[in-house]
């Protein structure tokens, strides 16, 4: 996926949100945003993947803030919110006649848990009230093709996205393993936005499946990903479940290489992603390449 004119406002809205988390000093915030503005003015052009600029923004703010994970506190609160809602997801799954559809609904609904996306408002209290409603919203997917792809696949590479929703990812991963799937889980190596890192998984006590980080980039960038990850990523015997918009933004740029072995699962929280993936803004989406 390439940048659209609307992306520029989102890039800076998130930058402002993150600078408020990172800096008490307004002068430092201004200096950081000015440097970002210069980079965007030179790199915001047709053919650029939004996550490339987003990754620069994250690394820039970390550099100005001595590599501190500015989302650390919000990540903890998100995981607590996820744990509080997990019983709702488990009941929804238990009472569903179609377990694979239930899992897809839980995972796409959980992708609501995101900060700093323009025109997408998220807070834990509101999400707790509406989560069950979201689970029953329209799901944009080719049901039989996606269920068949999952049913037939013995090996799954599961690309994680945000903290908070990772609580539901872990539930889904354990259910997939109980179905006889060999699952490899891929978080981030180092903090980048509010994405799950290998350290975050360890803090949650996750031991259900092997963990192979994809790198320290929003989504997946094969030019910077570790070889161990890429060996699995390119392996034709793995079905890839790619959570969230960052993974969609990056992998969709070369996803013709993954025909019939890549499923995007997300909530289309911004119009450019929604348009590109063929959904309505705000819709739950699962798409088999």
User: Is 80 exceeded by the pLDDT of residue 116?
Assistant: no
Give the residue-averaged pLDDT of 53-75: 93
Same domain for 220 and 261: yes
The pLDDT value given to residue 133: 94
pLDDT at 120: 61
- How many whole angstroms separate alpha carbon 274 and alpha carbon 41? 25
88 shares a domain with 59: no
pLDDT of residue 121: 66
Looking at the predicted structure, is the pLDDT value of residue 77 above 90? yes
37 and 138 both lie in a single domain: no
Question: Can you give the CATH number for the domain in which 206 is found?
Answer: 3.40.50.10880
- CA torsion, ordered 78, 80, 81, 83, to nearest 10 deg: 120
Based on the domain organization, do 163 and 189 belong to the same domain?
yes
The per-residue pLDDT for 113 is 86
Q: Does residue 2 form part of some domain?
A: no
132 lies in the same domain as 214 = yes
Tell me the C-alpha distance between 224 and 234, whole Å.
Answer: 14
d(CA 209, CA 117): 31
Average predicted confidence (pLDDT) for the chain? 95
Q: Which residue has the tokens 């161990």?
A: 228
Task: List the CATH number of the domain containing 29.
Answer: 1.10.8
Q: Is the pLDDT of residue 119 over 80?
A: no
Taking the C-alpha atoms of residue 268 and residue 198, their distance in angstroms, rounded to an integer, is: 25
For residue range 148-174, list pLDDT tens digits in order.
999 999 999 999 999 999 999 999 999
What is the pLDDT averaged over residues 3-15?
93
Does residue 183 share a domain with residue 235?
A: yes
How deeply is 239 buried, as exposed, middle or buried, from its count of CB atoms within 10 A (0-12, 13-18, 19+)?
A: buried
Which alpha helices (H) appear in 136-258, and where do they start and end?
143-152, 166-178, 198-203, 227-233, 244-251
Give the pLDDT confidence score for residue 200 in this predicted structure.
Answer: 97
> How much of the chain, in percent, has pLDDT values that exceed 70?
97
Together in a domain, 56 and 155: no
Q: Which domain holds residue 268?
A: 74-288
Residues 215 and 164 in one domain: yes
184 and 278 housed in the same domain: yes
| Counted domains in the chain | 2
Among the listed ranges 25-29, 87-91, 111-115, which one has the minimum average pLDDT value? Answer: 111-115
pLDDT in tens, 211-251: 999 999 999 999 999 999 999 999 999 999 999 999 999 99
């Amino acid at each position: 996926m390439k940048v659209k004119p609307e992306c520029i406002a989102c890039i800076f809205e998130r930058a402002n949100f993150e600078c408020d988390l990172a800096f008490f000093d307004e002068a430092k915030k201004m200096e950081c945003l000015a440097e970002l503005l210069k980079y965007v003015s030179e790199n915001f052009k047709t053919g650029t993947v939004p996550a490339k600029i987003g990754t620069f923004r994250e690394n820039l703010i970390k550099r100005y803030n001595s590599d501190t994970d500015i989302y650390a506190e919000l990540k903890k609160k998100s995981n607590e919110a996820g744990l509080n809602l997990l019983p709702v997801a488990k009941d929804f799954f238990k009472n569903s006649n179609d377990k694979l559809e239930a899992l897809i609904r839980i995972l796409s609904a959980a992708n609501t848990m995101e900060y700093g996306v323009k025109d997408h408002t998220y807070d834990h209290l509101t999400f707790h009230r509406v989560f069950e409603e979201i689970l029953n919203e329209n799901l944009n997917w080719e049901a039989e093709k996606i269920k068949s792809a999952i049913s037939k696949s013995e090996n799954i590479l599961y690309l994680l996205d945000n903290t908070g929703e990772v609580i539901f990812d872990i539930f889904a991963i354990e259910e997939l393993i109980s179905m006889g799937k060999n699952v490899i889980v891929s978080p981030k190596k180092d903090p980048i936005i509010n994405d799950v890192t290998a350290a975050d998984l360890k803090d949650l006590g996750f031991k259900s499946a092997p963990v192979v980080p994809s790198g320290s980039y929003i989504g997946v960038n094969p030019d910077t990903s570790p070889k161990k990850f890429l060996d699995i990523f390119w392996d034709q015997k793995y079905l890839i479940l790619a959570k969230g918009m960052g993974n969609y933004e990056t992998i969709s740029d070369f996803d013709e290489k993954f025909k019939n072995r890549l499923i995007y699962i997300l909530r289309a929280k911004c119009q450019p992603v929604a348009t590109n993936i063929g959904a309505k803004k705000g819709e739950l989406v699962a798409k088999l390449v």
